[in-house]
Every structure is written in structure tokens, then in C-alpha cells.
Chain A
Amino acid sequence: MKKLLLSTTALILAMAIGPALAQEEIVVGTDVDAGTLDARLTRDTTAYRVADLVYSGLVHITPKLEAVPDLVESWETPDPQTFVFKLREGLKFSDGTPLTADDVVYTYTTLLDPDFNAPMRTLYTPIKSVEKVDDLTVKFNLDTPYAPLLSYLDLGIVPQELAEGGQDLATQPVGAGPMKLASWNRGAEIVLEANPNYWAGAPKIEKVTLKIIPDNSARAQAFEAGDLDVIQSPLSPQDISRLAADDRFGNAIMPGLGVTYINFNTKDPLLADPKMRQAFAMLVDQQTIVGDIYQGVDEVATSVLLPSSWAYSPEIKQPTFNLEGAVALFNELGWTDSNGDGILDKDGKNLTVTLATHSEDPNRVQTVEFLQAMFSQAGVDAKTQITDWPSFSTNYVQKSQHQIALLGWLNLVDPDRLLFSQLTTGGSTNWGGYSNPKVDELLEKGRSSLDQKERAAAYQEAAKILAEELPYFIVSYQGYQLFYDKDFPSEVNATPRGYLRGLIGMETQ
């Protein structure tokens, strides 16, 4: 009896003290382990998300994709090729050392060094030099006016002294962000804790744990079992509909920043004529792909401009699904079924084409198989080629060996990011060899003008041409989903990039 009393007392005590001691803590599920946590070298979603918390950039990108000051107080553009940033006073890294203009210059100079092999370097190449004016002022000199630059200046600033002193930021990152790295158990979890040295003060959430669960369905189940507080894209369409219907969970479902698209190799003799590409595009039943394969998680796309972008215009439309129309167009171009075998032919040759994608994404594989079936209904002998990403990218698409490939682009924070390198003549990722001087001119104008109206007009004109000439056929705008436990300890402000600053109870956004 005495024992029982004692343990009851202990229990009551524990209950009374419990909430006061409870740490505000969230556990987030993620699909891959981070490769490196050096802000300049990050290349996977987990690393981006951790780096966003551990480091701070000159600016912060809001969920609406606007650049707002983070480490800087303000900036000016004395001329279109110069940006001058004024840093806040008294900035500190999480280890307590001061952050000055030198660190900014160091971060961008190393990033731009070709031998540093930064994956995102191409986004910053219009920067000619970055110089320190005084301890709190940094000047960016550009080769040409480059409007998208601000969208990319959320790159985390790294501490020069530590980095040059030999600290491996890849495994022991130190930044000036709202959180800092507490521990990293490779392949299992990354634990972050609040950084009291953050310029806006420590966030309300004291601990963020990212648990690595590679399998999408297993991650959803772990969330349902209560092992995780938050999960987000990538998720399987089946799991999304189940979780959205469950009233234990809140959700944020919104248009994402990615597209799934068809890359036509315009250098291929069969596909060189835009009319041929139009006919093939008319065989893409977007409704069925988005509705049945992606189960409504994505949205039917109409052009190369995303609905979330200021440049979007619903007026611009690519060809839509029209089986008869496609056959008629093939006939017009000389492809008819002259020998009655059910396959279109011309000059004694059958209309044969290869559809390709990579094997990692089962939805893309299904889409390619579905396209193959639609193509054969129109009398096109379609073959498929499905290989894993490293061989698909290096040996195939990047070498322009493909005919029709199903692919995706992510993180499209600015129209420039989907169009310039991809579709200007000789662009570094123009794998389909597309070339149109008018489009080149418009895309150049879109990136160099600093007036958003002018930029939007240029992109819309380019999008109109692209919707007819179809080097790209955009199949769908990818959706973004985030699910959280209703007992979540802080407000939830999701962003389509999947970044977590909106979940940790920060004073400023």
C-alpha cells in the first residue's frame, strides 16, 4: 500500500512537472539522408531543408516566393548591373563568432570558383565579382543585368575563418540560421536545436529531428503510427488521399514548384518538324495521367509558365488531347497506313519512336507505359526505354540520344530557371537541341530586365511560341503536400519548396 501511494505521488508529481519540462520538439520525416551540409554544395532535398535552418542567406524567400531581408537590412541597385547589400549590425554565427562582409565575399567567391564544383554554380555565373565595401556592406557586380539573382541569394553564408581553418562544413556545418546542428546519425536522423545567436532570436521550437525513411509508404505509415509529426512530398498518391481524409491530421496542399514534361529531341530527323511534335503532343492524355496515375495530386499543365508565378497567363495553351486530330496531322505530314498493318508509314518506313524515362519514379514509368498505349492507338509504333537515373541522364538525355523523354524540373522559383539554360540556343541543359533566335532574344530580355511587367510580357511571348513549337510539352504542374499532427506545437506555414522555417515558430517570416 505504501508503495502504491508512493508511486501514485510520483506519478502526480511527474504529471505536474511534465509540461513545464517538456521541450518543444518536432519530428519530420524525410526521404533521403543529406549528402553534404555545406550550404554551397547541397544537392538533395534534405540537405536544402537542413541548410535553410542552419544557415541564413542575405535574403529569405517567403512562401509567396518573394525575397525579403534576412541577414541584410536593405539593398539598393544603383544600376542594373550592381547590387549593394547592407548587413544587419551584430550578426553572429551559431558558435558566437561575428558574421561580416568578409564571410559573404568568401561564400560567393568560393561558390563561383569552377574548381569548387558547386552544383548550383550556373545560377550565379552572371556575377562578375563580389566585393567588400566595409564590414557591413557588400557589392555584387554583374556581367549583364540578371533579374532572377535575388531569388537565389538565400544561399547560406558560411564562416570564412572556420572553413579556411579546415573545419569540414559538410559534416559539421556552422551558420547563422535559426537552428544549429546537434547531432547527425548517418542514414538515421539529423537533430537540430535552436540557435540563440540568430539575429531575430531563437525560434519557439527547441529541437527539430529529421528522420530518414526512404520508402514513401513506410514514411506515411510511420506518420500514422505517431512516430513523426510532419511529412511532406514526395508521397505516394494513394497515401495522400488517405491522409487527407483522416481528421487526426492537418494538411497544406498547394501547387508546387516543379513540372513533369516531355522533352522532344528537335535534332532528331523524325521530330525536327514542329508539326510532328504537335501531333505527338496531341496524343498525351493529360487528364488521365493527372487524374488516374497521379490521382489529382498534380495539375494539368497548359504552358511553360507555372500558375504560382507572376508571369503566368491562362491564355497561353499547348495542344490538348485529340486522337483524331493527331492522326489527321500525321496523315497531312505524309504518314499513312498504306499497307494496312495498323501502323502509320511513309516511304516504306514505319512510324517508330522511343519513349524514355527513368525507373526511380513509378508514376513516370506508368505514364510512359500509358503513352505507349495511346501512341499505338494512333498507329505509332512506340517503344519504351526505362533505365535508372544515372544511366538515363549521363548516357542518354544529356548526350541527346533520346527521341521523346519524360522528365521533370524542380525548384522553379523564377521562370528563368525552367527556360534559359534549357531552351536558348546552345544552353547548358538544352538536351533537345532547340534553337529559335526569337525565343533566345525574349529569354535574354526576361532575365535582364528588372521590371517585372516587362519580364512577364517577354516570358509570355516566349511561352506562346514554345506552346506551338513544343521543344517541351509540359504534362503537369507538380503539387506539394504537407501533413502534420493536429497537436502540432506551433503554427504551420508551409512553403511549396518544403522548407521548414514556417514550422518552427519563428517571430519573423
Chain B
Amino acid sequence: MIAYIIRRLLLFIPMAVGMVVVTFGLLLIIPGDPASVLLGQEASPEAIERLRDSLGLNDPWYVRLWDYFANLLSGDFGTSIFQNQPVATIILGRLGATLELAVAALVIATVLGLAMGVISAMRQGSIVDTVTMIFAQLGVSMPVYWLGLLLMLAFAVQLGWLPAIGRGPPLPEAFWAALTGKPQVLMDSLSHLLLPALALSAMPAAIISRLTRTSMLEMLREDFVRTAYAKGLRRPRVIIRHVLRNALLPVLSVIGLRFGMLLGGAVLTESIFAWPGLGQLTITAISQRDLPLIQGIVLTFALIFALVNLIVDLLYAAVDPRVRLG
């Protein structure tokens, strides 16, 4: 088991190298140059050329790639061209906000999705089933930025219940404050988090609910379910112990994959809700062609994705005894 985890973690290294090379290649291909963005429209061509030289952009690509790896080995992710700060500092400053948003959205999506899926599977063909599946269809088809603006219009502008934009105190800090007798800090934090997390959770909730439903329906028809009923077990026990437990397996791996998608969705959600996370940073970095920062973000996302996949695989083994990791 330990050996398995170590092996998986080591596998991340070639993957990271691959990611860096691919991103680097993409950045070479896409046109546009940070020097001209940095100096603006009014800059003279000579000024742009001079800045390109000092940024090392005129070096051959293999020299730049080699330099990047050499720095990476010594733990240096480079310096952002635009913010003039270490890339690692910038990313670490933003990571918490994005993880908070993504985890909150995932929790909402899982709870909503499982509940909706189980209920509609149990009442297949009923009005409840139809309504739930219409919601699921809407959830899949609504773009997150549109849903976000709609939620903002309803709950912040019209009803005035929740703040429209921004982030409150970080959630872990807020929990601590609540424990030490300042519950309003937690409320502040949660009230900022709710709208963006809801907007972001719509799509995965819809997908999880549909998958849970299908998977449940499949299991309900299995022989072992009939056997369980034949043994005289009561319905709730059959559903929970026999049907749901088996139906959850495919759902679990999808939840893991969805986490990656959530990070992608966070890019748009963060822009709408002015959530100061990695997503917003990504957009800015790309639009400015801030090469070291883009590289750093891609690496971070890849690392998160790899870690989540590892966790899902471990969970899989815990839930399904047929899967043995070795």
C-alpha cells in the first residue's frame, strides 16, 4: 500500500516534466509577447526589443526550457513578468481561495447530486423523477458565468440577502473564530462563499445525479438485490447496504474527475464573483502572456489533479474489496 502510494507519487515527476514541455511548446506557438503587453501601445519597437532582451525572450527556445528546468530543480518557479514577485509566492497566496471554492462546490454537488439521483431512481418514472431530471438537464446546459450572474441578480441585487462579490475571511480561520466565540466571522465567510459555490456546483451536481440514478437503476435489477429481498431484508437496508454501496463506485471516480473540471470552472466563476483565486490569476496571466506564471499555474493544477486522482484510487480500494492496490 505504502509502496503503491510512493510509486504513484514518483510517477508524478515524468508527468510534471511532460506538462512543462507541453505548456512551453504551446506558449511558443501562441502569438503575442509579454514585452509589448508590458510596455503598452505607445512603446517604440526599440523599447520592446530591449525589454525582450532583458527578459531573455530572444534566447533560443532550448536555452529557455533548460533554464526553466534548472531553476525548477533548485525549487525556483521563476518570477512573474508583470507582478515582479516569485511565482510560488503569488500562487500560494491564491491557492487557498480556489481550493476553498472548489471543495465547497464539490461538497454541495455531491450532497445534492446523490440525493437527487437516489430519490429519482427510487421513484423512477414518477413526477419527482421527471422534475429532478429536468433540473439535472438545466444544470448541465447552463454556462457557469450566466448562472452566476443570475444568482447574483436574484440573491444580491433583488433580495439583498447575500453579498454580490468578493471573499470573506478564509474559511479555516473563520471556523476557528467561530469556535473561539465569534460566529459572525463564520457567517461572513459562508455568505460570501455560498453564491459562487452554488454556481460552480450546478454542473457537477447534475452529472452526479444522473449517474447515480442510472447506476442505482442498474443495481436494482441485479440478482443479489432480489436475493437480499428474498432473504427477508427490509427495503432501506437493501437500498443502503446493497444497492447504493455498489452504485457508488462509478460515481466516486466521476467525482474525482469532476474535481479537475471544477478547477476549470473556477476560472470563470472567480471572474464573475471577483473571487481572488487561481482562476482569475490564470486569465490575467494568459492575457498578459506572463510565461513563468502560466507555467507555474499549469504545474499547480496538474499536481492537484494528480493528487486527487490518487486519493480517489485509494478510496476506491477502500470501498470496493475487489480492487487491490499493489
Q: Is B93 an interface residue (CB 8 A)?
A: yes
Contact with A along B275-304 (1 / 0, CB 8 A): 011001101100111000000000000000
In the complex, the answer to whether B166 meets A187 with C-beta atoms within 8 Å is no
What class of interface size applies to chain B in its complex with A?
Answer: 35 or more
In the complex, the answer to whether A211 meets B165 with C-beta atoms within 8 Å is yes
Q: Is B11 an interface residue (CB 8 A)?
A: no
Q: Is B232 an interface residue (CB 8 A)?
A: no
Q: If A188-B167, A226-B160 touch, does A32 touch B284 (CB 8 Å cutoff)?
A: yes
In the complex, the answer to whether B287 meets A388 with C-beta atoms within 8 Å is yes
Q: Which of B34, B50, B163, B277 is close to A225, meaning CB atoms less than 8 Å apart?
A: B163
Q: For the complex formed, measure the closest distance between the CB of A12 and the CB atoms of chain B, giving whole angstroms.
A: 21
Q: If A114-B50, A214-B280, A390-B288 touch, does A122 touch B42 (CB 8 Å cutoff)?
A: yes
Q: Is B271 an interface residue (CB 8 A)?
A: yes
In the complex, the answer to whether A213 meets B274 with C-beta atoms within 8 Å is yes
In the complex, the answer to whether B153 meets A221 with C-beta atoms within 8 Å is yes
Q: If A33-B284, A122-B44, A409-B41 touch, does A215 touch B33 (CB 8 Å cutoff)?
A: no
Contact with B along A157-188 (1 / 0, CB 8 A): 00000000000101100000000000001111
Q: For the complex formed, measure the closest distance between the CB of A391 and the CB atoms of chain B, giving whole angstroms.
A: 4
Complex: chain A residue closest to B31, CB-CB: A391
Residues of B within 8 A of A317 (CB): none
Interface residues of A in 206-259 (CB under 8 A from B): 211-215, 217-219, 221-222, 224-227
Q: Which of A32, A120, A221, A428 is close to B164, meaning CB atoms less than 8 Å apart?
A: A221
Residues of B within 8 A of A185 (CB): 276
Residue from B44, B50, B284 with most neighbouring chain A CB atoms (10 Å): B44
In the complex, the answer to whether A120 meets B42 with C-beta atoms within 8 Å is yes
Interface residues of A in 135-163 (CB under 8 A from B): none
Q: If A225-B160, A389-B37 touch, does A188 touch B276 (CB 8 Å cutoff)?
A: yes
Residues of B within 8 A of A114 (CB): 47, 50
Contact with B along A332-354 (1 / 0, CB 8 A): 00000000000000000000000
In the complex, the answer to whether A117 meets B90 with C-beta atoms within 8 Å is no
Q: Is A200 an interface residue (CB 8 A)?
A: no
In the complex, the answer to whether A119 meets B31 with C-beta atoms within 8 Å is no
In the complex, the answer to whether A212 meets B274 with C-beta atoms within 8 Å is yes
A-B contact count (CB 8 A): 151
Question: Whole-angstrom distance between the alpha carbons of A391 and B289 in the complex?
Answer: 10
Q: If A225-B163, A394-B31, A394-B33 touch, does A429 touch B38 (CB 8 Å cutoff)?
A: no
In the complex, the answer to whether A117 meets B47 with C-beta atoms within 8 Å is yes
In the complex, the answer to whether B156 meets A225 with C-beta atoms within 8 Å is yes
Q: For the complex formed, measure the closest distance between the CB of A123 and the CB atoms of chain B, giving whole angstroms.
A: 7
Interface residues of B in 138-171 (CB under 8 A from A): 145, 148-149, 152-153, 156-157, 160, 163-167
In the complex, the answer to whether A117 meets B157 with C-beta atoms within 8 Å is no
In the complex, the answer to whether A391 meets B30 with C-beta atoms within 8 Å is yes
Q: Is B94 an interface residue (CB 8 A)?
A: yes
Q: Is B272 an interface residue (CB 8 A)?
A: yes
Question: Whole-angstrom distance between the alpha carbons of A189 and B168 in the complex?
Answer: 12
Complex: chain A residue closest to B30, CB-CB: A391
Residues of B within 8 A of A35 (CB): 82-83
Residues of B within 8 A of A23 (CB): none
Question: Whole-angstrom distance between the alpha carbons of A168 and B89 in the complex?
Answer: 15
Complex: chain B residue closest to A407, CB-CB: B41
Interface residues of B in 229-282 (CB under 8 A from A): 271-274, 276-277, 280-281
Question: Whole-angstrom distance between the alpha carbons of A215 and B196 in the complex?
Answer: 14
In the complex, the answer to whether A36 meets B84 with C-beta atoms within 8 Å is yes
Question: Whole-angstrom distance between the alpha carbons of A60 and B287 in the complex?
Answer: 32
Q: Is A387 an interface residue (CB 8 A)?
A: yes
Q: Is B212 an interface residue (CB 8 A)?
A: no
Q: Is A398 an interface residue (CB 8 A)?
A: yes
In the complex, the answer to whether A211 meets B166 with C-beta atoms within 8 Å is yes
Question: Whole-angstrom distance between the alpha carbons of A387 and B283 in the complex?
Answer: 15
Complex: chain B residue closest to A427, CB-CB: B44
In the complex, the answer to whether B38 meets A119 with C-beta atoms within 8 Å is yes
Q: Is A295 an interface residue (CB 8 A)?
A: no
Residues of B within 8 A of A493 (CB): none
Question: Whole-angstrom distance between the alpha carbons of A187 and B270 in the complex?
Answer: 10
Complex: chain A residue closest to B82, CB-CB: A35
Complex: chain B residue closest to A428, CB-CB: B44
What are 22 A-B contacts defined by CB distance under 8 Å? A36-B84, A117-B39, A122-B42, A171-B84, A171-B85, A186-B94, A187-B284, A188-B276, A214-B271, A215-B271, A218-B164, A218-B272, A225-B156, A227-B163, A390-B31, A390-B37, A390-B289, A393-B36, A394-B37, A398-B45, A428-B45, A428-B46
Give 12 A-B pairs besides A122-B47, A171-B85, A225-B164 with Cβ atoms closer than 8 angstroms: A115-B50, A122-B44, A186-B90, A188-B167, A215-B272, A217-B149, A221-B152, A225-B163, A227-B165, A394-B37, A395-B31, A428-B42
